Chain A
Amino acid sequence: QKEVEQDPGPLSVPEGAIVSLNCTYSNSAFQYFMWYRQYSRKGPELLMYTYSSGNKEDGRFTAQVDKSSKYISLFIRDSQPSDSATYLCAMSAGTSYDKVIFGPGTSLSVIP
């Protein structure tokens, strides 16, 4: 079983739609959960950062973590063409200098 799994898409939605992106993971040691956005030929850009289970909202973005199911989600409301990118879920165990483990990414296109 892969450590972090994510549907690669591509996902295509009309402008204004609600987008739901999801990841599952297998390592119960993960404590910190991130969503990064990556544009073509660019580095991962941090969108959301959460600790343990629960919800976090930031503008049009909501991150959800369910550690009991080992399942995390990112919701994008009122999607815009500028949201078109690859979305990477990522997680870490939370030790001092711990590495981040990335999912393979979901490619999203928001059509005007």
Chain B
Amino acid sequence: EPEVTQTPSHQVTQMGQEVILRCVPISNHLYFYWYRQILGQKVEFLVSFYNNEISEKSEIFDDQFSVERPDGSNFTLKIRSTKLEDSAMYFCASKQRQGQPQHFGDGTRLSIL
């Protein structure tokens, strides 16, 4: 069964450094998302992306965050200057069309030192 794949599985970065998290959504999906889950807390929406632009973003998704679909298969989340509180699991999700459910990857665990 097709799946959303994310790399790396674990990223360790010094505070203030830039980090790029990568995702390959399911191939025929058109809607793309990033969520995060701080340890012990619920999964929270960050941003949705459709037709090469951001559709919606949460208040968490500030100017330090950006997303990009650089080619036909990858979807990336960039954090420009990481903070300690950015430490979390980051999940990529995709769905095919309206009315279909979102499917999630296994996440990237981001640890900021």
Residues of A in contact with B (beta carbons under 8 Å apart): 32, 34, 36, 41-46, 49, 51, 88, 90, 94-105
Contacts and interface: CB of A to CB of B under 8 A. Distances in A.
A98 B49 CA distance: 10
Nearest to A4: B42
B42 A97 contact: no
**Interface range on chain B: under 10, 10 to 19, 20 to 34, or 35 or more?**
20 to 34
B102 A100 contact: yes
Nearest to B40: A104
Contacts of A34: 101
Contact of A94 (B33, B98, B109): B98
B56 A100 contact: no
Contact of A103 (B42, B101, B103): B42
Contact of A95 (B35, B98, B104): B98
B98 A44 contact: no
A96 B106 contact: no
Contacts of B91: 43-44
A102 B101 contact: no
A41 B10 CA distance: 10
Interface in B58-96: 58, 89, 91, 93
Contact of B50 (A88, A97, A100): A97
Contacts of A90: 43
Nearest to B55: A97
B31 A96 contact: yes
A43 B106 contact: yes
A51 B4 CA distance: 23
B99 interface: yes
B59 to A, nearest CB: 12
B104 A94 contact: no
Contact of B42 (A96, A98, A102): A102
Contact of B105 (A43, A101, A104, A105): A43
B101 A32 contact: yes
A104 B50 contact: no
Q: Which of A32, A51, A99, A101 has the most CB of B within 10 A?
A: A99
B104 A45 contact: yes
